[in-house]
């Protein structure tokens, strides 16, 4: 018994169905967008003091930096001591957010105390100082 091969082209052209592939890609895109958390940076590099009791805090917080030259920076721009209270009031109005102060180790202690005071007067319930974990 001999089998014949049909070398003629089929009546219908072959198509690759891309709709399920597009559905899977859209699902993955939506998943990654909805689960990604964005950490806001202060915009300046500070030399944080080291502490043995340093621990990781919430990503949803207000980050304020104090440089060695006593500049107060939020989101890459200088806000000054007068901008701390309105900033904390505005950002904490919708939900209670902790304030994390990244003070340079060479920053004056008086400036640090003033920033903490302004943050508390702006309505912050939790004010923390950022530090690097010491290597022990």
Q: pLDDT value at position 82?
A: 92
Cβ neighbors of 4 (< 8 A, separation 6 or more) are: none
Q: Which domains does the chain have, with CATH numbers?
A: 50-133 (3.30.420)
Q: Cα 92 from chain centroid?
A: 16
The angle subtended at Cα 79 by Cα 106 and Cα 117, nearest 5°, is: 65
pTM > 0.75: no
- The first and second tokens of residue 8, run together, are 């003629």
Strand partners, 66: 72, 103
Q: What is the pLDDT along the chain (136 residues), one digit of tens a residue?
A: 566 666 666 667 777 788 888 999 999 999 888 877 666 666 666 666 665 555 555 567 888 999 889 899 998 889 999 999 999 999 888 888 889 898 888 888 899 999 999 999 999 888 988 877 666 5
Euclidean distance between CA atoms 100 and 63, whole angstroms: 5
CB 43 within 8 A of CB 65: yes
């Amino acid at each position: 018994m001999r089998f014949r091969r049909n070398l003629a082209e089929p009546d219908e052209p072959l198509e690759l169905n891309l709709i399920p592939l597009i559905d899977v890609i859209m699902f993955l895109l939506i998943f990654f967008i909805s689960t990604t958390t964005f950490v806001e940076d202060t915009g300046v590099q500070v030399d944080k003091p080291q502490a043995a009791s340093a621990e990781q805090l919430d990503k949803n917080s207000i980050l304020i930096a104090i440089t060695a030259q006593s500049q107060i920076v939020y989101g890459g721009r200088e806000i000054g001591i007068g901008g701390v209270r309105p900033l904390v009031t505005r950002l904490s109005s919708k939900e209670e957010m902790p304030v994390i102060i990244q003070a340079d180790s060479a920053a004056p202690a008086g400036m640090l105390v003033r920033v903490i005071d302004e943050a508390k007067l702006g309505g912050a319930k939790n004010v923390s100082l950022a530090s690097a974990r010491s290597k022990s």
